[in-house]
């Protein structure tokens, strides 16, 4: 009907009828109903009505029928449809439509409520026009709207007229989009009125249509202000080449946030006028194709020859490297059989009688080959993980305060002899990097002797950890702030929790409660303490130890907390430090808090987060480490906190700090923690910390734990970082069987596998995955032995040491994201990337490009573990709607090795945390300078990946509903390595000797092995892609300007018209029973 000119015909009929001497309402009323239904579906209806002068005649008819309810109602329906076009709505405002509507909208009454509802909805539609909103401000309509809302709210005790109250709020919401509207709203006590009328209705489901809009108005009108920081720049400054550090002014006005544009934008025009953002997929085949050539002179590649000694050294050189008189048994200082898998995980000690009270395997425990799990398939590999008891934080504490192990026994007499009341927790919890543990002379350092004594009695049972070695390495670690203290969890060590921790169930309404509490601060400032109790920007010490407030500290490796402000007695606002040499990337946190009371809920608000959404809204919890718990025998990072919420707040970055652009928004992470002990020292972190010093200590211990006659383990320096720290490069393979020429040749001809991690410092989960991979590769597991005998592993476990050390979330000391520097790195600016790429170039120049390249990362938005790969065809197919015909025809002739899908398919079958459904093989323009894309394109590595591990946990498989612990992450590292072995077993080039060895490992025939390999590679059982986020119990609205308004739908108006169509027109009627609600 619309396409045949039906709208124009109906509008012309309306104009002709309205201009007759006595309009026939028997025809006009059904005509209005038809116009309203058609107009809702005609995007150009307002423009057509304006051209045919239907706006004027409808306004005239409405004025003539102010006392006739039914006739007026039909006119209002037509005006509602006309006003859906912003341009037409502005014209109606010029012609006095708003003044007319205020004659219809009256204080509370049970008469003519259907007409009043229609009038408020028309007014809300008109006020979407900025000119109308500005007119409403100038004429003082805001105070009138607030009085009307108060009146309807106070009288409508049974919530019969929710839709009228909702429409009045929509009017206020649209006006509040203007700066002048917000000012008028605040001057009219709007915040106080909406706060007082809604605070007792937050849990009332019937009030949901009203409450949701109130929240949007409160957030929109809450005065925007800068963060309570002297500057947006990082508190730590590092002078690096090419960076000019300046202090942006911190002067903020409303102009920094929004410009009241005088123009009107009609959003209801044709879809061609609503251009979508440019697709990020790369559609240029030339840019997707392999690129030959180097980014540096070829002679520079010779420097990497020394990093590949395995290609040139003789057997004698290999043997002499460890010394002739080396006693392997004496060098073992860790459990050589420790393999990070759930099947042999410390978390399942309750199911294994051979485990000691600490949950670690004894040396004589028979180790099951990880490869044999292939026979059991994924459903039974982690059978016990589904039967584990769900862990409650700090559940094993008896009445005396001392720990109980998983068997119900008291902890050892040695630890029980330590009297808790003699501990100086504040001093113990953050040790000074002294030359030794017992040479301190200062009063504050006297507890170093106590720590030394505790370490001597502490069981040495945390695998691959040594506090003495950690302290020695910590003294060599160089930081921008010259850290003098070592965090207790890093020194003492972490033991995985004995059981899984489920995702936190989100409490309905938690976000709105937090927002209302924020508003309460503004309107009731007398209740706010607002006392700075910690700041990196203030002279130290800032805290009064005698005051009744928590004490904070973050000046240690990987620590990040810039400022703490006590808001109420048990509530604190926290601000994170920006990445060094930058003004952004505040997300990672790690700090110490002490001086707490037991059983008191403390609320923490981290108010300068930057990401627009977080897994904290979907079951993720921060983590906590209690020093007293550790001294009682439970040195464990645990997920903790309740009433967790992540939402947009009222803080903004100044336009000056944002480079002249509109100031960006900040987000609040709020959580409540109840601490397990009085006067404890606890550490809180975004995710399980893994410091640079922890890595260097781990590598040292790993090197001493291996059998040098069997395992080739070489640790060397890839380069020095900008901060003066060595970036380690690790080579792992098997020693040649003998000094024969054949065995030496096999040793040198093994294919390479290259693995990197931690280019983003805040992604500490990547380091835990890497830790699991390293420990597995050097273990005595037969599958690990096969991997060593058939591959050479080149591993760079930490690409951004400086960022990790200094508590950055994403960048280097230059404030750069190093994973966007792979196209053109420079040795003096991005040394780790430059030399990592140079090493890959060198291998490629020898014809030894890696079979697989993988960069380990962490993901804050998704669950599970998954891979990103690269495919030309999949990228072009996905972008076919925007690619040119010539590009697509060219894509059909492209030959591409599809083996890039093999590894993720194998991991989907092997690893319980991995899901193929979240994998992607698209190449985006914005990722052109990442490691994955550059190694794929420039080195021709078809299996070039980024492996992402969730900060949160899994929503599928055996770990469904559980948050990741360090055990699951380490297991993923081991499973990744196992996947590489399965990938080789499936390859055409796989040697018969390797197949035979694997068959022996599985204790089966080669035919059976083939069956298992086919199962691992089958694609018909690939799970369908799961939704990343389960539906939340409430809408999480971060931006009141985004998304469609709730009044834009046509369903409700359709329903009103439909109900009226079957009723006779009886003129004005009393509406005692509001059944239409």
CB under 8 Å to 508, separation ≥6 — which residues? 1033, 1034
Residues 399-450 pLDDT 10s = 333 343 433 443 343 334 345 555 567 667 777 776 444 444 443 443 456 6
Residues 705-716 pLDDT 10s = 999 999 999 999
Instruction: Give the model's confidence band at 1074: pLDDT under 50 very low, under 70 low, under 90 confident, else very high.
Output: very low
Residue 267 predicted with pLDDT over 60: no
Alpha-carbon distance 664 to 770, whole Å?
35
Q: Count Cβ atoms below 10 Å from residue 980 Cβ, excluding itself.
A: 24
Helix, strand, coil tally for the chain in percent (to 5): 40, 15, 45
β-pairing verdict for 430-432 and 485-487: antiparallel
> What pLDDT was estimated at residue 179?
94
Alpha-carbon distance 92 to 122, whole Å?
11
Question: Over pLDDT 90: what percentage of the chain?
Answer: 54
Listing DSSP states for 836-903 in one string gives: HHHHHHHHHHTT---SEEEEEEEESS--SEEEE---HHHHHHHTTTTS-HHHHHHHTT----GGGGHH
Instruction: Give the model's confidence band at 371: pLDDT under 50 very low, under 70 low, under 90 confident, else very high.
Output: low
Instruction: Give the model's confidence band at 250: pLDDT under 50 very low, under 70 low, under 90 confident, else very high.
Output: very low
Buried b (16+ CB within 10 A) or exposed e, 851-881: bbbbbbbbbbbbbbbbbbbbbbebbbebbee
> What pLDDT was estimated at residue 546?
58
How far out from the chain centre does Cα 615 lie? 5
Residues 511-566 pLDDT 10s = 889 999 999 999 999 889 999 999 999 876 555 655 689 999 999 999 999 999 99
Residues 90-126 pLDDT 10s = 999 999 999 999 999 999 999 999 999 999 999 999 9
Mean pLDDT over 302-326 rounds to 71
Alpha-carbon distance 699 to 166, whole Å?
63
Instruction: Give the model's confidence band at 1011: pLDDT under 50 very low, under 70 low, under 90 confident, else very high.
Output: low
Alpha-carbon distance 1012 to 1001, whole Å?
13
User: What residue has token string 């504490």?
Assistant: 397
> What pLDDT was estimated at residue 363?
35
Closest CA to 998 of 774, 736, 785: 785
Catalytic residues: 948
Residue 773 predicted with pLDDT over 60: yes
Alpha-carbon distance 54 to 829, whole Å?
67
> What pLDDT was estimated at residue 271?
37
Residues 905-964 pLDDT 10s = 999 999 999 999 999 999 998 899 999 999 999 999 999 999 999 999 999 999 999 999
CA distances from 187 to 140, 174, 511, 715 (A): 11, 17, 26, 67
Mean pLDDT over 219-241 rounds to 88
Alpha-carbon distance 470 to 453, whole Å?
16
Alpha-carbon distance 185 to 179, whole Å?
10
Rg (CA), the chain: 34
Long-range contacts of 452-459 (CB under 8 A, 24+ apart): 454/418, 454/428, 454/631, 457/414, 457/415, 457/418, 458/415, 458/492, 459/358, 459/412
Alpha-carbon distance 624 to 622, whole Å?
7
Residue 377 predicted with pLDDT over 90: no
Closest CA to 500 of 962, 856, 923, 48: 962
Assess contact for 998 and 786: CB atoms under 8 A.
yes
Alpha helices (H) along 422-575: 425-428, 447-457, 467-476, 488-492, 510-523
The length of the chain is: 1077
How far out from the chain centre does Cα 329 lie? 45
CB under 8 Å to 657, separation ≥6 — which residues? 232, 248, 250, 583, 663
Residue 1050 predicted with pLDDT over 90: no
- Kindly report which listed range (255-259, 650-654, 852-856, 1007-1011) carries the lowest average pLDDT score: 255-259
Q: Give the bridge partners for 391, in sequence order.
A: none
Alpha-carbon distance 966 to 385, whole Å?
14
> What pLDDT was estimated at residue 177?
94
Residue 62 burial (CB < 10 Å; 0-12/13-18/19+)?
Answer: buried
> What pLDDT was estimated at residue 742?
87
Alpha-carbon distance 727 to 796, whole Å?
8
Residues 35-81 pLDDT 10s = 888 888 888 888 888 888 998 999 999 999 999 999 999 999 999 99
Mean pLDDT over 752-778 rounds to 97
3 state DSSP class of 924:
strand
**Would you give the DSSP letter of residue 747?**
H
Residue 127 predicted with pLDDT over 90: yes
Strands in 576-664 per DSSP E: 590-594, 601-609, 623-626, 638-639, 642-652
Residues 144-169 pLDDT 10s = 999 999 999 999 988 899 999 999 99
Residue 721 predicted with pLDDT over 60: yes
> What pLDDT was estimated at residue 1052?
67
pTM greater than 0.75: yes
What's the mean pLDDT when you consider all of the chain? 80
- Most confident range (mean pLDDT) of 73-77, 746-750, 806-810, 1051-1055 is 806-810
Alpha-carbon distance 445 to 456, whole Å?
18
Determine the Cα angle at 1061 with ends 1057 and 1063, to 5°.
Answer: 120
> What pLDDT was estimated at residue 740?
84
Instruction: Give the model's confidence band at 497: pLDDT under 50 very low, under 70 low, under 90 confident, else very high.
Output: confident
User: Side by side, which strands form the sheet with 601-609?
Assistant: 531-535, 563-568, 571-575, 601-609, 665-674, 642-652
Instruction: Give the model's confidence band at 369: pLDDT under 50 very low, under 70 low, under 90 confident, else very high.
Output: low
Determine the Cα angle at 830 with ends 951 and 948, to 5°.
Answer: 20
User: What residue has token string 């503004």?
Assistant: 522
Closest CA to 728 of 703, 705, 765: 703
Residues 897-907 pLDDT 10s = 788 999 999 99
């Amino acid at each position: 009907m619309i396409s045949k000119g039906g709208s124009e015909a109906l509008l012309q009929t309306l104009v002709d009828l309205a201009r007759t001497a006595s309009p026939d309402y028997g025809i006009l009323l059904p005509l209005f109903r038809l116009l309203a239904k058609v107009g809702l579906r005609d995007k150009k209806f307002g423009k057509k009505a304006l051209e045919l002068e239907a706006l004027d005649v409808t306004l005239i008819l409405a004025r003539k029928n102010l006392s006739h309810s039914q006739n007026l109602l039909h006119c209002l329906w037509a005006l509602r449809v006309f006003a859906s076009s912003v341009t037409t709505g502005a014209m109606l405002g010029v012609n006095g439509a708003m003044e007319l509507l205020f004659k219809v909208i009256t204080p509370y009454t049970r008469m003519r409520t259907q007409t009043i509802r229609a009038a408020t909805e028309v007014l809300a539609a008109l006020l979407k026009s900025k000119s109308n909103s500005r007119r409403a401000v100038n004429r003082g309509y805001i105070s009138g709207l607030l009085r009307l809302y108060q009146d309807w709210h106070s009288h409508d005790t049974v919530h019969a007229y929710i839709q009228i109250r909702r429409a009045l709020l929509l009017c206020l919401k649209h006006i509040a989009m203007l700066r002048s509207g917000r000012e008028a709203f605040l001057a009219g006590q709007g915040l106080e009125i909406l706060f007082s009328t809604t605070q007792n209705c937050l849990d009332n489901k019937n009030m949901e249509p009203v409450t949701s809009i109130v929240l949007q108005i409160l957030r929109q009108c809450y005065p925007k202000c800068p963060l309570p920081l002297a500057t947006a720049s990082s508190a730590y400054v590092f002078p690096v080449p090419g960076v000019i550090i300046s202090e942006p002014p911190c002067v903020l006005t409303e102009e920094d946030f929004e410009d009241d544009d005088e123009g009107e934008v009609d959003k209801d025009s044709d879809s061609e006028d609503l251009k979508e953002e440019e697709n990020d997929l790369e559609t240029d085949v030339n840019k997707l194709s392999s690129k030959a050539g180097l980014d540096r002179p070829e002679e520079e590649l010779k420097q990497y020859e020394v990093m590949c000694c395995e290609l040139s050294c003789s057997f004698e050189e290999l043997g002499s490297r460890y010394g002739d008189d080396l006693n392997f048994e004496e060098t073992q200082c860790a459990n050589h059989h420790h393999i990070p898998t759930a099947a042999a995980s410390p978390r399942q000690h309750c199911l294994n009688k051979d485990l000691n009270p600490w949950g670690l395997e004894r040396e004589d425990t028979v180790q099951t080959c990880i490869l044999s799990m292939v026979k059991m398939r994924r459903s039974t590999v982690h059978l016990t993980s589904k039967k584990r008891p769900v862990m409650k934080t700090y559940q094993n504490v008896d009445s005396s305060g001392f720990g109980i192990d998983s068997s119900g026994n008291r902890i050892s007499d040695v630890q029980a002899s330590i009297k808790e009341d003699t501990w100086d927790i504040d001093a113990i919890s953050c040790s000074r990097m002294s030359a030794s543990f017992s040479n301190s002379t200062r009063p504050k350092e006297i507890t170093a002797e106590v720590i030394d004594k505790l370490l001597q009695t502490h069981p040495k049972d945390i695998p691959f950890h040594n506090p003495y070695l950690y302290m020695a390495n910590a003294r060599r670690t160089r930081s921008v702030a010259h850290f003098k203290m070592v965090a207790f969890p890093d020194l003492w060590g972490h033991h995985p929790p004995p059981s899984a921790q489920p995702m936190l169930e989100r409490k309905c309404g938690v976000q709105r409660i937090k927002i209302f509490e924020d508003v309460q601060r503004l309107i009731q400032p007398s209740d706010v303490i607002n006392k700075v109790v910690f700041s990196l920007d203030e002279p130290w010490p800032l805290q009064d130890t005698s005051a009744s407030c928590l004490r904070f500290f973050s000046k240690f490796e990987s620590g990040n907390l810039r400022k703490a402000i006590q808001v109420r007695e048990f509530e604190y606002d926290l601000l994170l430090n920006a990445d060094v040499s930058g003004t952004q990337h505040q997300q990672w946190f790690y700090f110490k808090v002490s001086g707490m009371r037991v059983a008191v809920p403390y609320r923490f608000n981290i108010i300068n987060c930057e990401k627009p959404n977080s897994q904290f809204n979907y079951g993720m919890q921060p983590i906590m480490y209690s020093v007293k718990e550790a001294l009682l025998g439970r040195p464990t990072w645990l997920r903790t906190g309740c009433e967790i919420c992540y939402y947009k707040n009222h803080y903004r970055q100044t336009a000056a700090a944002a480079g002249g652009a509109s100031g960006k928004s900040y987000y609040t992470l709020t959580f409540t923690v109840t601490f397990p002990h009085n006067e404890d020292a606890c550490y809180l972190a975004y995710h399980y910390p893994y410091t640079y010093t922890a890595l260097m200590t781990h590598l040292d211990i790993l090197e001493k734990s291996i059998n040098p006659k069997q395992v080739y383990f070489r640790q060397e320096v890839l380069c020095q970082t900008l901060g003066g720290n060595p970036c380690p490069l690790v080579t792992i393979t098997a020693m040649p069987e003998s000094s024969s020429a054949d065995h030496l040749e096999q040793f040198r001809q093994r294919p390479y596998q290259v693995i990197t991690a931690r280019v983003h410092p805040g992604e500490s989960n990547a380091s835990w995955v890497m830790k699991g991979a390293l420990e597995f590769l050097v273990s005595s597991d037969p599958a690990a032995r096969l991997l060593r005998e058939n591959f050479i592993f080149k591993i760079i476990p930490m690409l951004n040491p400086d960022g990790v050390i200094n508590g950055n979330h994403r960048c280097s000391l230059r404030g750069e994201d190093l994973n966007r520097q792979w196209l053109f790195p420079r040795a003096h600016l991005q040394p780790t990337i430059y030399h990592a790429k140079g090493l890959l170039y060198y291998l490629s120049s020898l014809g030894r490009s890696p079979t697989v390249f993988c960069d380990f990362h962490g993901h804050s938005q998704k669950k599970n573990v998954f891979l990103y790969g690269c495919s030309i065809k999949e990228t072009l197919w996905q972008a076919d709607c925007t690619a040119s015909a010539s590009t697509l025809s060219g894509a059909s002739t492209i030959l591409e090795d599809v083996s890039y899908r093999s590894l993720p398919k194998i991991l989907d079958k092997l690893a319980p945390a991995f899901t193929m459904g979240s994998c992607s093989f698209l190449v985006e323009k914005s990722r052109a300078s990442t490691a994955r894309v550059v190694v794929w394109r420039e080195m021709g590595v078809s299996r070039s990946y980024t492996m992402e591990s969730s900060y949160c946990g899994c929503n599928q498989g055996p770990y469904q509903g559980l948050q990741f612990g360090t055990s699951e992450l380490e297991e993923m590292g081991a499973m990744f390595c196992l996947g590489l072995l399965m990938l080789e077993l499936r390859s055409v080039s796989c040697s018969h000797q390797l197949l035979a060895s694997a068959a022996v490992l599985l204790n089966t025939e080669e035919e059976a092995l083939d069956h298992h390999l086919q199962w691992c590679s089958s694609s018909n059982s690939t799970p369908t892609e799961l939704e990343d986020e389960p539906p939340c119990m409430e809408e999480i609205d971060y931006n009141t300007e985004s998304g469609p308004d709730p009044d834009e739908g046509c369903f409700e108006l359709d329903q009103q018209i439909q109900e009226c169509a079957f009723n006779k027109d009886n003129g004005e009627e009393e509406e005692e029973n509001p059944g239409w609600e």
